[in-house]
A = this chain, B = another copy of it.
């Protein structure tokens, strides 16, 4: 107990991204957000100097915006719906293309309190990360109210983006 370390502040994912890319800026990132509504982009750009690696992001709240601006298939939206792993994947890949970015992260889910269905509860969020070679997608069911779900989804999206950048940097060093 006498050797407890001093309390330290954990760096946020956006701090970590700046540490990875802020000085070198050799990778560009972008976002496509539905349920997080711009919070991922806002966190990324809260960091002074983030313009070295943040191209921008799309908030696509409506299905029309997902189809028109991200190229998400209307057939897919009609069949599996916007809250689906397929849509998260298409959104991340669409944002990567739209911004000519190296990596893009996406969120789509039900922040509540309304919008739930029998098979899709409030808090269900899909988060995808695309790097051009592959696209990974995760499913989460976050607890809490609209603000808590939005925050948890935003945190996880930022973490996935950092992990994706770390993988891409490691691959470029190895390549």
Contact = CB atoms under 8 A, between A and B. Distances in A.
B45 A54 contact: no
A125 B64 CA distance: 30
15 contacts: A31-B59, A36-B42, A37-B42, A37-B46, A38-B41, A38-B44, A45-B59, A46-B147, A49-B114, A54-B62, A56-B60, A56-B61, A56-B65, A57-B58, A59-B59
A54 B44 CA distance: 22
The A contact surface, by secondary structure, is mixed
Among A58, A111, A147, residue most surrounded by chain B Cβ atoms (within 10 Å): A58
Given A45-B38, A46-B147, A98 B68 contact: yes
Nearest to A32: B56
A46 B113 CA distance: 11
**How many subunits of this chain does the assembly comprise?**
2
Given A48-B114, A49-B114, A59 B41 contact: yes
B58 A58 contact: yes
Interface string A59-90: 11110110011000000000000000000000
Interface of A: 28, 31, 33, 36-42, 44-46, 48-51, 54-62, 64-65, 68-69, 98-100, 111-115, 146-147, 150
A154 to B, nearest CB: 9
Contacts of A46: 37, 146-147, 150
Nearest to A57: B59
A156 to B, nearest CB: 16
Given A55-B62, A58-B59, 14 more contacts: A33-B38, A38-B44, A42-B42, A45-B61, A48-B112, A48-B114, A49-B114, A50-B61, A51-B61, A54-B61, A57-B58, A68-B98, A68-B99, A68-B100
